[in-house]
Amino acid sequence: MSFDLLVSHYNYWIVIFLMMVGFYILISRGNLIKKIVGLNVFQTSVFMLYISMGKVSGATPPILVYPYGEGDVLYSNPLPHVLILTAIVVGIATTSVGLALAVRIKEAYGTIEEDEINAIEARTEAAE
Amino acid sequence: MLLTLLAAAGLALLRVRNLFAVVMLAGIYSLLSAGLFTVMDAVDVAFTEAAVGAGISTVLFLGALALCGHHESKPGHTPLLPLIVVLVTGGLLVWGTMDMPGFGDPANPVHHHVADHYIEESYPEIGIPNVVTSVLASYRGYDTMGETTVVFAAAVGVMILLAGRLGRRPQPEGKGDGG
């Protein structure tokens, strides 16, 4: 494992680390709101992966420099930016639905801890 | 470096059990990632992330916390199985990056499919200097229309979920959520 590889892939590895932190929060924590936070961390790390791939060293943001279409300017890749803009907005939409569900679950069960909900479910099933 | 700070914020998120602190840390995390996007030339993404990720979603989380309480109880089971799953997945992903081209290399294949066309032709074709805007609103306009459909569906979903609770318990406490 050479030093070059470390430098050129450092971004990807940190992104994967963050992704795994989000994933771990998602599957190991019982609190529903904490799970949604974990999902958001996971999601943001995917955004970072895409934006890292769109970066060109020494380039400027993809906003054309005047005079437009002339001159020799290096721009970063605009396509990942567009995809991620869409993804951010969809992400907040799904987050808000998730939080609304959590609020409803809190109302129906009186708790948002997964194991307590499971216990209540088991008790109601046993009673039937 | 910014990325290392982000990693620290992520770890703090994992440890803290007071949900108010978790939400604030998530806001910090989001703002840090917006800074990172600016450094990586994605200015449009950065201000969307700062407004939506650090702004609106923090407000939504706080609204939900006001309704659900802010204490997280200790996890009941051992976190061994999740840890193994996460380590294996992470290992596989790192192994996958070994084949990826290096960060920031202009010769990467991702930069030579349609991106060249967008950068060279979008001003003559569309007439907007910001390439991201012209791709978002014109070349990939259907994507954006689908996105607004998703947002609409989410807003309807949130309204249906929360309207039921207002109907049964007519108290003026249910505010703060709404896609």
Which of A83-97, B135-149, B156-170 shows the lowest per-residue confidence on average (mean pLDDT)? Answer: B156-170
Would residue B51 count as lying in a domain? yes
Cβ-Cβ pairs closer than 8 A, A with B, add up to 285
Shortest distance, CA A102 to any CA of chain B (angstroms): 8
Q: Which amino acid is at A5?
A: L
Same domain assignment for residues B5 and B60: yes
Same domain assignment for residues B133 and B146: no
Instruction: Tell me the chain A residues in contact with residue B24 when contact means C-beta distances shorter than 8 Å.
Output: none
> Cis omega (within 30 of 0) on the bond before A67?
yes
Average pLDDT estimate for A12-35? 85
- ipTM associated with this complex: 0.83
* Widest CA span in chain B: 62
Higher-scoring residue by pLDDT: B73, B52: B52
Same domain assignment for residues B134 and B145: no
- Asked if residue B45 lies in contact with residue A85, where contact means CB atoms within 8 angstroms, the answer is yes
Instruction: Tell me the chain B residues in contact with residue A53 when contact means C-beta distances shorter than 8 Å.
Output: 108, 110
Each residue's pLDDT tens digit, B77-87: 667 788 888 88
Round the average pLDDT of chain B to a whole number and report it: 78
Would residue B91 count as lying in a domain? no
| Total number of domains constituting chain B | 3
Q: Is A3 on the interface with B (CB under 8 A)?
A: no
Contact B100 A12 (CB under 8 A): yes
- Asked if residue A22 lies in contact with residue B103, where contact means CB atoms within 8 angstroms, the answer is no
Would residue B31 count as lying in a domain? yes
∠ Cα A26 A19 B87 (to 5°): 80
Same domain assignment for residues B35 and B49: yes
Eight-state DSSP code of residue B137: I
Residue ending a domain, choose from B15, B49, B73: B73
Average pLDDT estimate for A74-89? 86
Which of A32-36, A66-70, B158-162 shows the lowest per-residue confidence on average (mean pLDDT)? Answer: A66-70
Same domain assignment for residues B120 and B148: no
pLDDT of residue B172: 46
Residue A1 has pLDDT above 60, yes or no: no
Same domain assignment for residues B154 and B124: no
Shortest distance, CA A122 to any CA of chain B (angstroms): 16
Would residue B96 count as lying in a domain? no
CATH number at residue B51: 1.20.120.1200
Contact A63 B132 (CB under 8 A): yes
Contact A34 B147 (CB under 8 A): no
Would residue B1 count as lying in a domain? yes
- Burial profile A80-91: b = 16 or more Cβ within 10 angstroms, e = fewer: bbbbbbbbbbbb
In B, minimum Cα distance to A94 occurs at B154
Same domain assignment for residues B55 and B40: yes
- B174: pLDDT confidence band, cut at 50, 70 and 90? very low
Contact A102 B52 (CB under 8 A): no
| Total number of domains constituting chain A | 1
Q: Is A102 on the interface with B (CB under 8 A)?
A: yes
Same domain assignment for residues B124 and B150: no
Residue ending a domain, choose from B73, B98, B120: B73
* Cα–Cα nearest to B13, from A118, A102, A31: A31
Each residue's pLDDT tens digit, B85-129: 888 888 888 888 887 777 777 777 777 777 777 777 777 777 777
Would residue B68 count as lying in a domain? yes
What contacts B118, CB < 8 A, 6 or more positions away?
A: A62, A78, A79, B131, B134, B135, B139
Which among A4, A56, A69 has CB closest to B104?
Answer: A56
Instruction: Tell me the chain B residues in contact with residue A59 when contact means C-beta distances shorter than 8 Å.
Output: 41, 106
Same domain assignment for residues B154 and B179: yes
What contacts A21, CB < 8 A, 6 or more positions away?
A: A38, A41, B7, B10, B11, B13, B14
| A 5-24 → B contacts, CB under 8 A | 5, 7-14, 16-24
- Asked if residue A87 lies in contact with residue B148, where contact means CB atoms within 8 angstroms, the answer is no
Half-sphere exposure of A73 (CA within 13 A, CB side): 17
Same domain assignment for residues B66 and B20: yes
| A 63-92 → B contacts, CB under 8 A | 63-64, 66, 68-69, 74-86, 88-92
Residue B176 has pLDDT above 60, yes or no: no
Contact A22 B85 (CB under 8 A): no
Average pLDDT estimate for A16-33? 85
CATH number at residue A60: 1.10.287.3510
Would residue B12 count as lying in a domain? yes
pLDDT of residue B153: 92
Same domain assignment for residues B2 and B54: yes
In B, minimum Cα distance to A12 occurs at B97
Range of the domain at A74: 3-127
Same domain assignment for residues B22 and B55: yes
Range of the domain at B21: 1-73
Which among A22, A44, A86 has CB closest to B53?
Answer: A44
